[in-house]
Amino acid sequence: MPEPAPLNLASHAARRARLADWLGDGIAVVATAPEAVRNRDTHYPYRFDSYFYHLTGFTEPEAVLVVVGGMSPRAILFCRDKDETREIWDGFRYGPAAAQTAFGFDEAHAIAELDARLPDLLGNRARLAWAIGDSPAWDARMLGWLNAVRGKARQGIAAPAELLDVRTCLDELRLVKDAHELDVMRRSAAIASEAHRRAMRATRPGRREYEVEAELLHAFCAGGAQAPAYASIVAGGGNACVLHYVANRDTLRDGDLLLIDAGCELDGYASDITRTFPVNGKFSAAQKDAYEIVLAAQTAAIAAVRPGAAWIAPHDAAVRVLTQGMVDLGLLKGEVDGLIESNAYNRFYMHRTGHWLGLDVHDAGEYKRDGDWRPLLPGNVLTVEPGLYIRPADDVPAAFHNIGIRIEDDVAVTASGADVLTSPPKTVSEIETWMQG
């Protein structure tokens, strides 16, 4: 049996208290994710809802959290009953009584009681919050309960007049990671870093992209991660110029680069790393020239990560270095400022330099506030991932055709700067030395 994820009750309880404060005299309903059929009677591996998990630490399907705000705040879990027969087939389930004690809820009930209890809980509350629009089926249930309360008007029971999206509050909570989350993310990053080191060592001409993917999966599992955080990209040669390449079937060729974008999920938290390196272990002159530009862009972007800096500062720093590099390599002609202004660099660099990272690989949280890029805060975690993608064209020097490079690390904003969580070999000499080992 795999070990259960270590519980961190204080963090989950603190988040529920913040939600209760935000609600005032209101109530929030947060459901976990449904199970999903893959085909016939086989399901996808179950993954809880990230918001629900952030508030509870509870990983079973068929569970709903109700948080009541106001003068006497309460957290109520609805979950599956104990069921000896189902537990013989599918494994342990807590049941409401044990879940209440183990996870520190004020109350817990069987999920089958949700329809009966929700209208009473909603009565005389000023506002009701849920993830509005996330699931049509769930919206319909919420509105059904709301109408059930409205049906009690003649008993003097008022329905909530205000409907709020609970994610307005929860996204902000998820943006700033606490010490426990940072610890889990550091461990997720360490497992993924080891996976990249292993994959680099296993790469050689003639192997298939999926054989290298197998090395990543081995390291994720052996390191204790529960799953890849997203479909791994193992892209040899020109496949690296397809940003979301996940087929991973081609044969790796001598003289090509290999781009690997892969991270794992540990106890809910994602890592997200990209490395690009030569299939034969030695960069050609053109590959090295292009690689050094992306590396310099990433170094400049990471240097721009610090508390108070605008979210977009690392991207702007990377774009400047990349655009200068495109001119130096003969990919673009003109002044750097003008090429940035006109977005001409988009031909070879068409994505942003990063995203929030956390329970979701593209994590929750806004990037702008009132029209301005938001300032970075200690506890934010983001990726820094500049790239250069050079498709063959008549006006592009042939030596650079089909070179696709991205370098991606996971970075935590600290009180004074940035902490890079990920660590596979990155410079040309680190990569070449590691691959010779």
Query: How many residues touch Mn ion (CB under 5 A)?
Result: 4
Distance CA 28, CA 210 (A): 44
In the chain, the largest separation of any two C-alpha atoms, in whole Å, equals 81
62 catalytic? Reply is no
Set 355, 360, 363, 410: catalytic member: 355
83 catalytic? Reply is no
Among 317, 361, 403, 407, binds ligand GLY (CB under 6 A): 361
Q: Pick the closest to residue 213 from 191, 235, 193 (CA basis).
A: 235
Set 194, 267, 272, 410: catalytic member: 272
Judged by CB under 5 A, which stretch of 41-49, 95-103, 242-250, 260-268 contacts Mn ion? 260-268
| C-alpha of 151 from chain center | 42
244 catalytic? Reply is yes
- 230: partner contacted, choices ligand GLY, Mn ion, none (Cβ within 5-8 A by kind): ligand GLY
Closest CB 231 distance from ligand GLY, rounded Å: 8
Is the Cβ of residue 215 or residue 261 nearer to Mn ion in the bound state?
261
* Cβ proximity of 3 and 42 under 8 Å: no
Instruction: Return the structure tokens found at 413.
Output: 């904003």
272 binds Mn ion (CB under 5 A): yes
Is the Cβ of residue 345 or residue 356 nearer to Mn ion in the bound state?
356
Residue-by-residue DSSP string for 379-416 = T-EEEE--EEEE---TTS-GGGTTEEEE-BEEEEE-SS
* Cβ proximity of 57 and 8 under 8 Å: yes
Instruction: Return the structure tokens found at 121.
Output: 């809980």
54 catalytic? Reply is no
261 catalytic? Reply is yes
Is the Cβ of residue 130 or residue 269 nearer to ligand GLY in the bound state?
269
Instruction: Return the structure tokens found at 179.
Output: 């010490």
Q: At what angle do helices 428-436 and 179-202 cross, to 10 degrees?
A: 60
408 catalytic? Reply is yes
Distance CA 24, CA 20 (A): 6
Closest CB 229 distance from ligand GLY, rounded Å: 8
12 catalytic? Reply is no
* Cβ proximity of 223 and 264 under 8 Å: yes
Is the Cβ of residue 76 or residue 361 nearer to ligand GLY in the bound state?
361
364 binds ligand GLY (CB under 6 A): no
* Cβ proximity of 96 and 110 under 8 Å: yes
Q: How far apart are the first and last CA of the chain?
A: 35
180 catalytic? Reply is no
SS3 175: helix
Set 362, 366, 369, 372: catalytic member: 362
Is the Cβ of residue 230 or residue 269 nearer to ligand GLY in the bound state?
230
213 binds ligand GLY (CB under 6 A): no
**Angle formed at CA 376 by CA 372 and CA 378, multiple of 5 degrees:** 155
Query: How many residues touch ligand GLY (CB under 6 A)?
Result: 7
Distance CA 136, CA 205 (A): 49
Among 22, 78, 230, 356, binds ligand GLY (CB under 6 A): 230
Judged by CB under 5 A, which stretch of 44-52, 59-67, 306-314, 376-384 contacts Mn ion? 376-384
Dump strand ranges (E) for 253-351: 257-262, 264-266, 269-270, 273-278
SS3 196: helix
Q: At what angle do helices 209-222 and 179-202 cross, to 10 degrees?
A: 140
Per-residue contact flags (x/-) with ligand GLY for residues 253 to 282, judged by CB under 6 A: --------x----------x----------
Closest CB 27 distance from ligand GLY, rounded Å: 35
| C-alpha of 158 from chain center | 40
**DSSP classification of residue 331:** S
Among 383, 389, 410, 425, binds Mn ion (CB under 5 A): 383
Can you say whether the dihedral through the CA atoms of 235, 332, 324, 314 is positive or negative?
negative
Per-residue contact flags (x/-) with Mn ion for residues 210 to 249, judged by CB under 5 A: ----------------------------------------
Is the Cβ of residue 230 or residue 389 nearer to ligand GLY in the bound state?
230
Within a 10 A sphere around the Cβ of 98, how many other Cβ atoms? 14
What does the binding site for ligand GLY look like in residue numbers (CB under 6 A)?
230, 261, 272, 355, 361, 385, 408
What does the binding site for Mn ion look like in residue numbers (CB under 5 A)?
261, 272, 383, 408
| Catalytic residue set | 41, 244, 261, 272, 351, 355, 362, 385, 389, 406, 408
